[in-house]
């Protein structure tokens, strides 16, 4: 991996840095701040995007025909790094400019490009993503939201979840199933939907910290004109792959979402709480963050050599989520009990109870998970002691967690699980069924 800027990248970095030093907004905002007012967030973001648009910096990788700079992904990475350097992190336009715009360019028609791209780039309209569902997250092709054609419109019914910024978005990109009788990847259609359309209900998903970055969206008989269909009917999966590929690139490196230095300063301010366990966790988190920086360098190196990243972008997204989650957990532990309280509906602080030290459970070994028992220490109590004699060992079902019985050695007697200490010959007790491997509930090993 080459960690140095190429001459072309160095020249672009110098140009980007000079522009930001002159035009970066003096009033900053944090997209992930829990106490940030949505109206202020949208106003400041639109003002900044309009400034970028007016000076030709609205979209680094968009073609110049659509108002972009016409540069490549390497310049986009450099631009993201420079934005992070001056404290300008995640943008509310990442779904629109970073994901939807390239998808419309690649799969839309001339009318759709003329209608949506210019307002998107100027920052006049905010977009959100309506992909994930309660039953379709990782398996995105398993969506159940239905769209049925009715003349020149489509009637959509379903539910979407984890929609960032859905409560202030103007438009959304929507995946819906239009043909349930074909393989799931072939029955999906891609739509561009106005979020003010009747029948769309947006509900905030309030986090435990009080913020509401995510929403769930309910679509009840929502009518979308056929002009809002992006690409042919049933070809939505190809367009969705274009969106997701650009989403991974738009995420960029970890520097725009997390800075270890900020957490380190928080740790120094609460040094009295730094026990050996927290120090070890901080060191591990630092290692994770540096690993992601190296992975990002690998992506840049491959792009500089004319190669496309394969799994690196997907691993990067997963790793960033893990690092940010761990950083928040450590920040709360460093703050101590009660410091994580958020104001309630009436302005009263929500108490935070200190959690008892965690006791790690020992994992069951692979042999036990597959039904082969390992030797166990002697159980306590007369009943627990008795039920281990005569070659019988209790085993818990991974599904029902009910005690079943497994023969581990030949024997001529069997325990009555109700009577406890009364060994009985096989089949002689009414508590058992027809054979030695059934119990009083009537099913083999108690699984009926």
Q: What is the pLDDT of residues 254-289, one digit of tens each?
A: 666 778 888 999 999 999 888 999 999 999 999 998
Asked whether the predicted pLDDT for residue 58 surpasses 60, the reply is yes
Asked whether the predicted pLDDT for residue 301 surpasses 80, the reply is no
CATH 1.10.540.10 applies to domain 7-122: yes
For residue 409, what pLDDT band results from cuts at 50, 70 and 90?
very low
Asked whether the predicted pLDDT for residue 155 surpasses 50, the reply is yes
Question: Out of 78-82, 295-299, 363-367, which region has the weakest mean confidence (pLDDT)?
Answer: 363-367
Asked whether the predicted pLDDT for residue 431 surpasses 80, the reply is no
Structure tokens belonging to residue 438: 């059934």
pLDDT recorded at residue 152: 95
Asked whether the predicted pLDDT for residue 416 surpasses 70, the reply is no
List the domain boundaries for the chain. 7-122, 127-242, 254-335, 378-448
Asked whether the predicted pLDDT for residue 89 surpasses 80, the reply is no
Asked whether the predicted pLDDT for residue 345 surpasses 70, the reply is no
pLDDT recorded at residue 399: 40
For residue 297, what pLDDT band results from cuts at 50, 70 and 90?
confident
Higher pLDDT, 427 or 52: 52
Structure tokens belonging to residue 139: 């398996």
pTM across the whole model: 0.68
- CA distances from residue 27 to 22, 40, 59, 82, 291 in whole angstroms, order as listed: 14, 11, 22, 17, 32
- Region 140-166: what's the mean pLDDT? 95
Cβ atoms of 320 and 292 within 8 Å: the answer is yes
CATH, range 127-242? 2.40.110.10
Length of the chain counted residue by residue? 448
For residue 360, what pLDDT band results from cuts at 50, 70 and 90?
very low
């Amino acid at each position: 991996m080459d960690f140095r800027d190429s001459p072309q990248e160095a020249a672009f970095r110098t140009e980007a840095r000079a522009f930001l030093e002159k035009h970066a907004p003096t009033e900053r905002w944090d997209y992930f701040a829990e106490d940030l007012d949505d109206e202020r967030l949208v106003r400041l973001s639109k003002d900044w995007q309009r400034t970028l648009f007016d000076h030709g910096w609205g979209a680094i990788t968009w073609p110049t025909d659509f108002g972009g700079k016409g540069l490549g992904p390497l310049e986009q990475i450099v631009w993201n790094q420079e934005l992070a350097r001056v404290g300008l992190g995640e943008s509310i336009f990442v779904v629109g400019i970073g994901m939807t715009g390239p998808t419309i360019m690649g799969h839309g028609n001339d009318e759709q490009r003329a209608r949506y791209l210019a307002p998107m780039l100027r920052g006049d309209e905010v977009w959100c993503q309506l992909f994930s569902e309660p039953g379709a997250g990782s398996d995105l092709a398993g969506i159940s939201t239905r769209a049925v054609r009715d003349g020149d419109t489509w009637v959509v019914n379903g539910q979407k979840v984890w929609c960032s910024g859905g409560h202030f978005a103007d438009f959304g990109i929507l995946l819906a199933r239009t043909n349930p009788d074909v393989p799931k990847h072939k029955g999906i259609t891609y739509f561009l939907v106005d979020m003010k359309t009747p029948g769309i209900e947006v509900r905030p998903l309030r986090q435990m910290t009080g913020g509401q970055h995510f929403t769930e969206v309910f679509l009840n008989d929502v009518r979308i004109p056929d002009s809002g269909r992006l690409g042919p009917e049933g070809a939505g999966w190809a367009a969705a792959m274009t969106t997701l590929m650009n989403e991974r690139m738009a995420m960029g490196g970890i520097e725009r979402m997390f800075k270890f230095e900020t957490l380190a300063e928080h740790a120094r301010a609460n040094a009295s709480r730094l026990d050996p366990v927290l120090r070890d966790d901080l060191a591990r988190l630092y290692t994770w963050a540096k690993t992601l920086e190296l992975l990002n360098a690998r992506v840049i190196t491959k792009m500089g050599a004319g190669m496309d990243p394969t799994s690196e972008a997907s691993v990067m997204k997963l790793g960033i989520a893990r690092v940010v989650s761990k950083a928040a957990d450590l920040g709360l532990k460093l703050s101590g009990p009660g410091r994580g309280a958020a104001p309630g509906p009436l302005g009263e602080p929500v108490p935070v109870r200190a959690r008892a030290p965690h006791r790690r459970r020992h994992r069951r070994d692979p042999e036990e998970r597959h039904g082969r028992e390992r030797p166990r220490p002697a159980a306590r109590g007369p009943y627990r002691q008795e039920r281990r004699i005569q070659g019988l060992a209790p085993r818990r079902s991974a599904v029902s967690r009910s005690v079943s019985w497994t023969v581990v050695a030949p024997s001529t007697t069997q325990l009555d699980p109700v009577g406890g200490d009364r060994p009985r010959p096989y089949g002689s007790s009414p508590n058992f069924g027809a054979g030695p491997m059934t119990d009083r509930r009537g099913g083999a090993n108690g699984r009926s």
